[in-house]
């Protein structure tokens, strides 16, 4: 597993929904973005989830051969919400630390439609 501290390309942070209860067009847009990030040689940084727009984003980036860094609180991993196939999954103590770490890693930020966590 490669560490994202070995900076290759830019790190694009994407905020989006982890819920599957939204218009499927949102998941399609997230998947298109994940693929574009991977195809341009950049690393996707996101919240580490496996479902909803988060899952679509990560799955498409991975399918396109991209690097994906997920950052997720331990309690979410313990609830089995974390994506199991990422290039790297970083565990943090809480939501505030998660957001700080994601922002620290980011060269660029994209916000897609999401839930309260996106705001």
Using CA atoms, how far apart are residues 40 and 93, in angstroms rounded to an integer?
32
96 exposure class (CB count in 10 Å sphere: 0-12, 13-18, 19+) = exposed
- pTM: predicted TM-score of the whole model, two decimal places: 0.90
pLDDT tens digit at each of 119 positions of the chain: 344 455 568 999 999 999 988 889 999 999 999 999 999 999 999 999 999 999 999 999 999 999 999 999 999 999 999 999 999 999 999 999 999 999 999 999 999 987 666 66
- The sign of the torsion formed by the CA atoms of 8, 6, 15, 84 equals positive
- Domain 11-111 sits in CATH at 3.40.50.450
Domain boundaries, the chain: 11-111
């Amino acid at each position: 597993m490669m560490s994202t501290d070995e900076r290759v390309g830019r790190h694009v942070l994407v905020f989006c929904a982890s819920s599957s209860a939204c218009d499927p067009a949102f998941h399609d847009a997230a998947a298109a973005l994940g693929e574009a990030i991977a195809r341009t040689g950049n690393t996707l940084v996101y919240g580490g989830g496996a479902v909803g727009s988060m899952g679509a984003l990560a799955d498409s980036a991975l399918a396109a051969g991209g690097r994906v860094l997920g950052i997720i609180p331990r309690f979410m991993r313990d609830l089995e919400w974390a994506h199991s196939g990422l290039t790297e999954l970083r565990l943090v103590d809480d939501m505030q630390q998660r957001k700080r770490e994601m922002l620290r890693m980011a060269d660029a930020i994209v916000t897609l439609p999401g839930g309260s966590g996106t705001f």
